[in-house]
């Protein structure tokens, strides 16, 4: 176990990182955590105005999903808007726009994990999610993104802590988010038809 930890700390040349390299990584981590905190506070402060973005069609839906998923542990009204917009626009278009926005928004959790994940590493919920992400990688991200649950931020943090490649995180997150958003958009479309059909 100690050999594995030492190998994880060493760079590709086999040498331990220099003091400057460690300082650079620490600075990047601090900036990532500060960016996540700033984004979360901003999105939380404008949550009452999210419905106004829907007037812009699919780009508005994309933006709502991006902002709703950019918060870490603070609620935002993204899924409710996707449900409502599924009755106004084509549900597949809503799902694709919201899935793409949601996946990009989830980068905030990934960045929080890359930044250290110190805030959640000792919680029971993280202890349950982290082994899934470590063992199953992108497939765990896809499954957790596809299910409406409050723990996906933990999966993003675990992916960042485990240094999952960003492209892999985004791809699996996008597929999962799109599946989830399609379910809500089609449900919104069906409910509108049921009420007024």
pLDDT at 120: 60
Q: Is residue 12 part of a domain?
A: no
**65 vs 79, 103, 155, 168, CA distance in Å?**
8, 8, 18, 20
* Neighbour count for residue 183 (Cβ, 10 Å): 19
pLDDT at 13: 43
pLDDT at 8: 46
Q: Domain containing 68: what range?
A: 18-196
Q: Is residue 3 part of a domain?
A: no
Q: What span, in angstroms and rounded, lies between the C-alpha atoms of 114 and 22?
A: 14
pLDDT at 124: 74
Q: What share of the chain is helix, strand, coil (3-state, %, to 5)?
A: 80, 0, 20
Q: Is residue 6 part of a domain?
A: no
CA nearest neighbour of 64 among 79, 42, 86 = 79
Q: Is residue 10 part of a domain?
A: no
Q: Is residue 11 part of a domain?
A: no
Which segments in the chain show pLDDT lower than 50? 1-14, 43-44, 46-47, 50
Query: pTM to 2 decimals?
Result: 0.69
- The answer to whether 141 touches 170, Cβ cutoff 8 Å, is no
Instruction: Work out the widest C-alpha separation in the chain, in whole angstroms.
Output: 68
Q: 120 in helix, strand or coil?
A: coil
pLDDT at 49: 55
- The answer to whether 100 touches 63, Cβ cutoff 8 Å, is no
Domain count, the chain: 1
b/e burial code for range 42-64 (CB count within 10 A of at least 16 → b):
ebeeebeebeebbeeebebbbbb
């Amino acid at each position: 176990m100690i050999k594995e930890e030492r190998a994880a700390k060493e760079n590709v040349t086999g040498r331990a990182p220099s003091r400057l390299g460690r300082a650079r990584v620490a600075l990047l981590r601090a900036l990532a955590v500060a960016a996540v905190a700033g984004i979360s506070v901003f999105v939380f402060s404008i949550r009452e105005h999210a419905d106004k973005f829907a007037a812009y069609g699919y780009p508005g839906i994309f933006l709502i999903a991006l902002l709703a998923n950019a918060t870490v542990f603070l609620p935002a009204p993204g899924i409710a808007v996707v449900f409502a917009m599924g009755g106004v626009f084509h549900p597949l278009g809503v799902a694709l726009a919201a899935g793409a926005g949601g996946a990009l928004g989830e980068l905030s959790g990934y960045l929080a994990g890359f930044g250290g994940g110190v805030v959640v590493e000792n919680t029971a919920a993280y202890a349950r999610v982290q082994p899934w992400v470590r063992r199953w990688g992108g497939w765990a991200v896809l499954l957790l993104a596809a299910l409406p649950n409050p723990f996906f931020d933990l999966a993003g943090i675990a992916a960042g802590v485990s240094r999952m490649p960003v492209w892999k995180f985004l791809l699996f997150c996008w597929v999962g988010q799109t599946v989830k958003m399609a379910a809500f958009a089609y449900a919104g479309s069906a409910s509108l038809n049921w009420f007024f059909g």
